[in-house]
Amino acid sequence: MWHRTELIRSENLHRAGELIKLGRLVVFPTETVYGIGADAGNPDAVAAIFAAKRRPADNPLIVHIPALAELPVVASAVSTLEYALLESFAPGPFTLVLPRAAAIAPDVSAGLSTVAVRVPLNTVAQRFLAVAGRPVAAPSANRSGEPSPTSFAAARTAMSGRVAAIIDGGDCRYGIESTVVKVDSGRRRVVVLRPGSVTIEMITAALTELAVDATRSRSDPDHESWSSYRVCFAGDLGAGGDDAAAASPGTRHPHYQPRAPLYLLPGDRRELLCPNSFGCRVGMLLLESLPDRLHPTPLVKVFRDSEEYGRLLYRSFAWFDSVGCDAIIAQLPPAAGVGLAVRDRLTRAAGGRLVPLQPR
Protein backbone atom coordinates (compact mmCIF):
# COMPACT_ATOMS: atom_id res chain seq x y z
CA MET A 1 0.00 0.00 0.00
CA TRP A 2 1.29 3.52 -0.85
CA HIS A 3 1.32 6.16 1.93
CA ARG A 4 1.88 9.89 1.99
CA THR A 5 4.87 9.93 4.34
CA GLU A 6 5.14 12.79 6.87
CA LEU A 7 8.64 13.98 7.76
CA ILE A 8 8.75 14.73 11.49
CA ARG A 9 11.36 16.90 13.19
CA SER A 10 12.64 15.84 16.58
CA GLU A 11 10.78 18.80 18.20
CA ASN A 12 7.40 17.42 17.00
CA LEU A 13 7.47 13.93 18.44
CA HIS A 14 3.93 14.11 19.85
CA ARG A 15 2.69 13.63 16.23
CA ALA A 16 4.80 10.46 15.93
CA GLY A 17 3.31 9.20 19.21
CA GLU A 18 -0.22 9.86 17.92
CA LEU A 19 0.47 7.87 14.75
CA ILE A 20 1.72 4.87 16.76
CA LYS A 21 -1.48 4.98 18.87
CA LEU A 22 -3.48 4.95 15.61
CA GLY A 23 -1.74 1.73 14.54
CA ARG A 24 0.45 3.40 11.89
CA LEU A 25 4.14 2.87 11.06
CA VAL A 26 6.79 5.41 12.12
CA VAL A 27 10.48 5.25 11.18
CA PHE A 28 12.65 6.54 14.05
CA PRO A 29 16.39 6.98 14.75
CA THR A 30 18.28 4.91 17.31
CA GLU A 31 21.98 4.79 18.18
CA THR A 32 22.38 1.60 16.08
CA VAL A 33 20.32 2.07 12.87
CA TYR A 34 16.92 3.59 11.96
CA GLY A 35 13.98 1.38 12.96
CA ILE A 36 10.46 0.99 11.53
CA GLY A 37 8.16 1.07 14.55
CA ALA A 38 4.59 0.04 15.34
CA ASP A 39 2.50 -0.62 18.47
CA ALA A 40 3.78 -4.04 19.62
CA GLY A 41 0.36 -4.86 21.09
CA ASN A 42 -1.56 -4.25 17.85
CA PRO A 43 -1.49 -7.31 15.52
CA ASP A 44 -2.53 -5.30 12.42
CA ALA A 45 0.18 -2.70 13.00
CA VAL A 46 2.74 -5.49 13.48
CA ALA A 47 1.58 -7.17 10.24
CA ALA A 48 2.06 -3.83 8.45
CA ILE A 49 5.77 -3.81 9.44
CA PHE A 50 6.32 -7.19 7.79
CA ALA A 51 4.50 -5.96 4.65
CA ALA A 52 6.40 -2.63 4.42
CA LYS A 53 9.76 -4.38 4.71
CA ARG A 54 8.75 -7.53 2.82
CA ARG A 55 10.20 -9.31 5.83
CA PRO A 56 9.81 -13.11 6.03
CA ALA A 57 7.14 -13.90 8.65
CA ASP A 58 9.55 -16.21 10.53
CA ASN A 59 11.98 -13.37 11.40
CA PRO A 60 10.99 -11.90 14.80
CA LEU A 61 11.09 -8.20 15.75
CA ILE A 62 12.78 -6.38 18.62
CA VAL A 63 10.46 -4.55 21.07
CA HIS A 64 11.66 -1.13 22.25
CA ILE A 65 10.81 0.49 25.59
CA PRO A 66 11.94 3.86 26.99
CA ALA A 67 13.12 2.48 30.36
CA LEU A 68 13.53 -0.80 32.26
CA ALA A 69 10.50 0.13 34.40
CA GLU A 70 8.35 -0.89 31.37
CA LEU A 71 9.86 -4.40 31.20
CA PRO A 72 6.89 -6.19 32.87
CA VAL A 73 4.61 -5.08 29.99
CA VAL A 74 6.85 -6.90 27.48
CA ALA A 75 8.41 -9.87 29.31
CA SER A 76 6.54 -12.37 31.48
CA ALA A 77 9.64 -13.30 33.54
CA VAL A 78 13.18 -12.07 34.05
CA SER A 79 15.85 -13.78 36.16
CA THR A 80 18.15 -11.86 38.51
CA LEU A 81 21.08 -12.44 36.11
CA GLU A 82 19.08 -11.22 33.10
CA TYR A 83 18.03 -8.11 35.01
CA ALA A 84 21.59 -7.46 36.14
CA LEU A 85 22.79 -7.69 32.50
CA LEU A 86 20.07 -5.26 31.42
CA GLU A 87 21.10 -2.87 34.18
CA SER A 88 24.69 -3.11 32.93
CA PHE A 89 23.93 -2.35 29.26
CA ALA A 90 20.54 -0.61 29.02
CA PRO A 91 19.99 1.94 27.67
CA GLY A 92 22.25 0.99 24.76
CA PRO A 93 22.81 -1.22 21.71
CA PHE A 94 21.95 -4.35 23.74
CA THR A 95 18.92 -6.61 23.13
CA LEU A 96 17.92 -9.41 25.49
CA VAL A 97 15.63 -12.34 24.61
CA LEU A 98 13.08 -13.06 27.37
CA PRO A 99 9.75 -14.94 27.72
CA ARG A 100 7.01 -12.93 25.95
CA ALA A 101 4.24 -11.21 27.98
CA ALA A 102 0.57 -11.54 26.90
CA ALA A 103 0.30 -7.84 25.93
CA ILE A 104 2.72 -8.33 23.01
CA ALA A 105 1.21 -9.51 19.70
CA PRO A 106 2.44 -13.09 19.06
CA ASP A 107 3.49 -12.25 15.47
CA VAL A 108 6.18 -9.94 16.91
CA SER A 109 7.96 -13.15 17.95
CA ALA A 110 7.30 -14.99 14.65
CA GLY A 111 5.95 -18.05 16.43
CA LEU A 112 8.49 -18.15 19.29
CA SER A 113 7.42 -17.94 22.93
CA THR A 114 10.16 -15.38 23.57
CA VAL A 115 10.53 -11.68 22.78
CA ALA A 116 13.65 -9.57 22.17
CA VAL A 117 13.70 -6.35 24.26
CA ARG A 118 15.84 -3.21 24.01
CA VAL A 119 16.01 0.20 25.68
CA PRO A 120 17.66 2.52 23.13
CA LEU A 121 20.13 5.17 24.23
CA ASN A 122 19.33 7.72 21.51
CA THR A 123 17.43 10.60 23.14
CA VAL A 124 15.06 11.12 20.18
CA ALA A 125 14.19 7.40 20.35
CA GLN A 126 13.61 7.62 24.11
CA ARG A 127 11.34 10.66 23.80
CA PHE A 128 9.44 9.08 20.91
CA LEU A 129 8.88 5.85 22.91
CA ALA A 130 7.73 7.88 25.92
CA VAL A 131 5.10 9.77 23.89
CA ALA A 132 4.01 6.58 22.09
CA GLY A 133 3.12 5.30 25.58
CA ARG A 134 3.38 1.63 24.61
CA PRO A 135 6.10 -0.84 23.61
CA VAL A 136 7.16 -0.33 19.98
CA ALA A 137 8.11 -3.31 17.81
CA ALA A 138 10.79 -2.22 15.36
CA PRO A 139 13.13 -4.00 12.98
CA SER A 140 15.71 -2.06 10.97
CA ALA A 141 14.08 0.33 8.46
CA ASN A 142 15.51 -1.29 5.33
CA ARG A 143 13.72 -3.47 2.81
CA SER A 144 14.46 -7.07 3.75
CA GLY A 145 17.90 -8.23 2.63
CA GLU A 146 19.26 -4.70 2.02
CA PRO A 147 21.65 -2.73 4.28
CA SER A 148 20.10 -0.94 7.27
CA PRO A 149 19.73 2.88 7.06
CA THR A 150 22.06 4.79 9.39
CA SER A 151 21.11 8.34 8.38
CA PHE A 152 17.85 10.24 7.87
CA ALA A 153 18.50 10.44 4.10
CA ALA A 154 19.00 6.66 3.84
CA ALA A 155 15.86 5.97 5.94
CA ARG A 156 13.90 8.29 3.66
CA THR A 157 15.19 6.59 0.51
CA ALA A 158 14.32 3.14 1.90
CA MET A 159 10.88 3.87 3.41
CA SER A 160 9.22 6.94 1.78
CA GLY A 161 5.75 5.95 0.58
CA ARG A 162 5.74 2.79 2.74
CA VAL A 163 5.18 4.30 6.21
CA ALA A 164 3.08 7.06 7.81
CA ALA A 165 6.07 9.10 9.04
CA ILE A 166 9.84 9.32 9.31
CA ILE A 167 11.50 11.15 12.23
CA ASP A 168 14.67 13.11 11.43
CA GLY A 169 17.26 12.18 14.03
CA GLY A 170 20.48 12.74 12.08
CA ASP A 171 23.19 10.09 11.82
CA CYS A 172 23.33 6.93 13.96
CA ARG A 173 26.17 6.77 16.48
CA TYR A 174 27.10 3.07 16.07
CA GLY A 175 25.85 2.23 12.57
CA ILE A 176 25.40 -1.53 13.05
CA GLU A 177 22.46 -3.37 14.60
CA SER A 178 22.30 -4.14 18.34
CA THR A 179 23.94 -7.09 20.08
CA VAL A 180 21.25 -9.77 20.58
CA VAL A 181 21.79 -11.95 23.68
CA LYS A 182 20.04 -14.89 25.31
CA VAL A 183 20.86 -16.36 28.72
CA ASP A 184 20.93 -20.18 28.61
CA SER A 185 20.79 -20.97 32.34
CA GLY A 186 20.67 -24.76 31.71
CA ARG A 187 24.11 -24.74 30.01
CA ARG A 188 25.29 -21.78 32.09
CA ARG A 189 26.14 -19.60 29.16
CA VAL A 190 25.29 -16.16 27.84
CA VAL A 191 24.84 -16.66 24.08
CA VAL A 192 25.45 -13.75 21.69
CA LEU A 193 22.98 -14.52 18.88
CA ARG A 194 24.01 -11.45 16.87
CA PRO A 195 27.27 -9.56 17.63
CA GLY A 196 27.11 -5.76 17.90
CA SER A 197 28.66 -2.75 19.61
CA VAL A 198 28.20 -4.24 23.08
CA THR A 199 31.03 -6.73 22.58
CA ILE A 200 31.66 -10.22 23.96
CA GLU A 201 34.60 -8.75 25.89
CA MET A 202 32.30 -6.13 27.49
CA ILE A 203 29.70 -8.76 28.47
CA THR A 204 32.41 -11.04 29.89
CA ALA A 205 33.82 -8.16 31.99
CA ALA A 206 30.33 -7.21 33.23
CA LEU A 207 29.58 -10.81 34.20
CA THR A 208 32.84 -11.09 36.16
CA GLU A 209 32.08 -7.84 37.96
CA LEU A 210 28.49 -8.90 38.70
CA ALA A 211 29.68 -12.24 40.10
CA VAL A 212 32.19 -10.50 42.38
CA ASP A 213 29.61 -7.95 43.60
CA ALA A 214 27.05 -10.69 44.17
CA THR A 215 29.47 -12.84 46.16
CA ARG A 216 30.25 -9.81 48.32
CA SER A 217 26.62 -8.88 48.97
CA ARG A 218 25.25 -12.49 49.12
CA SER A 219 21.79 -11.11 48.59
CA ASP A 220 20.61 -14.08 46.50
CA PRO A 221 22.06 -17.63 46.79
CA ASP A 222 22.09 -18.08 42.98
CA HIS A 223 24.33 -15.02 42.53
CA GLU A 224 27.43 -16.83 43.67
CA SER A 225 27.33 -19.20 40.71
CA TRP A 226 27.33 -16.42 38.09
CA SER A 227 31.10 -16.79 37.84
CA SER A 228 30.56 -20.21 36.19
CA TYR A 229 28.73 -18.64 33.19
CA ARG A 230 30.60 -18.45 29.85
CA VAL A 231 29.87 -15.85 27.18
CA CYS A 232 29.90 -17.33 23.67
CA PHE A 233 29.05 -16.32 20.09
CA ALA A 234 26.33 -18.49 18.50
CA GLY A 235 28.38 -18.50 15.27
CA ASP A 236 31.19 -20.38 17.08
CA LEU A 237 29.02 -23.04 18.68
CA GLY A 238 29.38 -25.67 15.93
CA ALA A 239 26.57 -28.23 16.08
CA GLY A 240 25.09 -26.35 19.07
CA GLY A 241 25.09 -23.27 16.83
CA ASP A 242 22.19 -24.80 14.91
CA ASP A 243 20.10 -24.51 18.08
CA ALA A 244 21.18 -20.93 18.41
CA ALA A 245 20.36 -20.08 14.76
CA ALA A 246 16.94 -21.67 15.21
CA ALA A 247 16.60 -19.54 18.34
CA SER A 248 17.42 -16.39 16.32
CA PRO A 249 15.77 -16.90 12.96
CA GLY A 250 17.00 -13.58 11.55
CA THR A 251 20.48 -15.03 11.29
CA ARG A 252 19.24 -17.55 8.67
CA HIS A 253 18.16 -14.94 6.13
CA PRO A 254 20.33 -13.17 3.55
CA HIS A 255 20.97 -9.70 4.90
CA TYR A 256 22.80 -6.40 4.58
CA GLN A 257 23.52 -6.76 0.84
CA PRO A 258 24.49 -3.77 -1.33
CA ARG A 259 23.51 -3.98 -5.02
CA ALA A 260 27.13 -4.43 -6.16
CA PRO A 261 28.56 -7.89 -5.39
CA LEU A 262 30.78 -7.82 -2.30
CA TYR A 263 34.11 -9.72 -2.06
CA LEU A 264 35.91 -10.32 1.23
CA LEU A 265 39.61 -9.67 1.65
CA PRO A 266 41.18 -11.58 4.57
CA GLY A 267 43.13 -9.07 6.71
CA ASP A 268 46.40 -11.02 6.44
CA ARG A 269 46.29 -11.24 2.61
CA ARG A 270 45.73 -7.57 1.77
CA GLU A 271 49.23 -6.99 0.35
CA LEU A 272 48.34 -9.46 -2.44
CA LEU A 273 45.44 -7.34 -3.67
CA CYS A 274 45.85 -6.51 -7.35
CA PRO A 275 43.51 -3.61 -8.20
CA ASN A 276 43.94 -4.01 -11.97
CA SER A 277 42.71 -7.58 -12.07
CA PHE A 278 39.07 -6.47 -11.77
CA GLY A 279 38.73 -4.39 -14.95
CA CYS A 280 35.67 -2.59 -13.55
CA ARG A 281 34.66 0.12 -11.10
CA VAL A 282 35.54 -1.24 -7.66
CA GLY A 283 34.77 0.30 -4.27
CA MET A 284 37.13 -0.68 -1.43
CA LEU A 285 36.77 -0.76 2.35
CA LEU A 286 40.10 -1.09 4.13
CA LEU A 287 41.29 -0.97 7.70
CA GLU A 288 44.14 1.17 9.09
CA SER A 289 46.17 1.96 5.91
CA LEU A 290 46.42 1.54 2.14
CA PRO A 291 48.36 -1.48 0.83
CA ASP A 292 51.54 -0.34 -1.02
CA ARG A 293 50.37 -0.64 -4.61
CA LEU A 294 47.06 1.19 -4.10
CA HIS A 295 46.52 4.94 -4.37
CA PRO A 296 43.78 6.92 -2.60
CA THR A 297 40.65 7.57 -4.72
CA PRO A 298 37.05 8.51 -3.79
CA LEU A 299 36.24 4.80 -4.19
CA VAL A 300 38.75 3.67 -1.54
CA LYS A 301 37.72 4.15 2.08
CA VAL A 302 40.24 3.56 4.86
CA PHE A 303 38.93 3.24 8.45
CA ARG A 304 41.11 3.85 11.49
CA ASP A 305 39.52 1.08 13.60
CA SER A 306 36.64 -1.42 13.71
CA GLU A 307 34.34 1.11 15.45
CA GLU A 308 34.66 3.56 12.55
CA TYR A 309 34.34 0.66 10.07
CA GLY A 310 31.03 -0.38 11.72
CA ARG A 311 29.69 3.17 11.90
CA LEU A 312 30.31 3.87 8.22
CA LEU A 313 29.79 0.38 6.75
CA TYR A 314 26.21 0.73 5.45
CA ARG A 315 26.74 4.37 4.44
CA SER A 316 29.72 3.20 2.34
CA PHE A 317 27.61 0.46 0.70
CA ALA A 318 24.99 3.10 -0.19
CA TRP A 319 27.67 5.45 -1.57
CA PHE A 320 29.23 2.72 -3.74
CA ASP A 321 25.80 1.79 -5.09
CA SER A 322 24.94 5.45 -5.79
CA VAL A 323 28.09 5.96 -7.88
CA GLY A 324 27.51 2.74 -9.82
CA CYS A 325 30.28 0.45 -8.53
CA ASP A 326 30.39 -2.95 -10.26
CA ALA A 327 31.95 -4.64 -7.24
CA ILE A 328 32.99 -3.90 -3.64
CA ILE A 329 36.03 -5.32 -1.86
CA ALA A 330 35.99 -5.28 1.95
CA GLN A 331 38.87 -6.15 4.23
CA LEU A 332 37.84 -8.37 7.16
CA PRO A 333 38.80 -6.78 10.50
CA PRO A 334 40.19 -8.95 13.34
CA ALA A 335 37.46 -10.92 15.17
CA ALA A 336 37.91 -8.95 18.43
CA GLY A 337 35.67 -6.28 19.95
CA VAL A 338 33.34 -4.62 17.42
CA GLY A 339 35.42 -6.33 14.69
CA LEU A 340 33.36 -9.50 15.30
CA ALA A 341 30.14 -7.64 14.42
CA VAL A 342 31.66 -6.02 11.33
CA ARG A 343 32.94 -9.43 10.15
CA ASP A 344 29.48 -10.94 10.75
CA ARG A 345 27.73 -8.29 8.61
CA LEU A 346 30.39 -8.45 5.88
CA THR A 347 30.40 -12.25 5.74
CA ARG A 348 26.63 -12.40 5.41
CA ALA A 349 26.51 -9.59 2.85
CA ALA A 350 29.21 -11.31 0.74
CA GLY A 351 27.54 -14.73 0.84
CA GLY A 352 31.00 -16.28 1.27
CA ARG A 353 32.63 -14.66 -1.85
CA LEU A 354 36.39 -14.06 -1.46
CA VAL A 355 38.55 -11.64 -3.46
CA PRO A 356 40.59 -13.39 -6.18
CA LEU A 357 44.20 -12.67 -5.11
CA GLN A 358 47.53 -12.80 -6.91
CA PRO A 359 49.62 -15.74 -5.68
CA ARG A 360 52.28 -14.85 -3.10
Peptide bond before 258: cis, by omega within 30 degrees of 0? no
Q: Which stretch binds ligand AMP (CB under 6 A): 1-9, 38-46, 108-116, 344-352?
A: 108-116
Residue 82 binds which entry of Mg ion, ligand AMP, none, with Cβ cut-offs from 5 to 8 Å by kind? none
Query: Total residues contacting ligand AMP (rule CB under 6 A)?
Result: 21
Site for ligand AMP in 209-248 (CB under 6 A): 247-248
Is residue 117 part of the contact set for ligand AMP (CB under 6 A)? no
In single-letter form, the type of residue at position 348 comes to R
- Closest approach of Cβ 274 to ligand AMP, in Å? 36
**CA–CA dist 343, 192 (Å, integer):** 14
Q: Where are the beta strands (DSSP E) in 83-178?
A: 94-99, 114-118, 136-137, 165-168
Is residue 194 part of the contact set for ligand AMP (CB under 6 A)? yes
Residue nearest to ligand AMP (CB): 250
Phi, psi (rounded to 5 degrees) for 320? -60, -40
Instruction: Output the CA torsion sign for 142, 147, 148, 152.
Output: negative
Residues binding Mg ion (CB under 5 A): 140
Residue 249 binds which entry of ligand AMP, Mg ion, none, with Cβ cut-offs from 5 to 8 Å by kind? ligand AMP
Q: Which of 119, 117, 165 is nearest to 141 (CA)?
A: 165
Is residue 154 part of the contact set for ligand AMP (CB under 6 A)? no
**CA–CA dist 195, 213 (Å, integer):** 26
Residue 61 binds which entry of Mg ion, ligand AMP, none, with Cβ cut-offs from 5 to 8 Å by kind? ligand AMP
Site for ligand AMP in 62-81 (CB under 6 A): 62
**CA–CA dist 15, 26 (Å, integer):** 10
Residue nearest to Mg ion (CB): 140
Is the distance from CB of 63 to CB of 104 less than 8 angstroms?
yes
> For binding to ligand AMP (CB under 6 A), which residues are involved?
59-62, 97, 109, 112, 114-116, 139-140, 177, 180, 193-194, 247-251
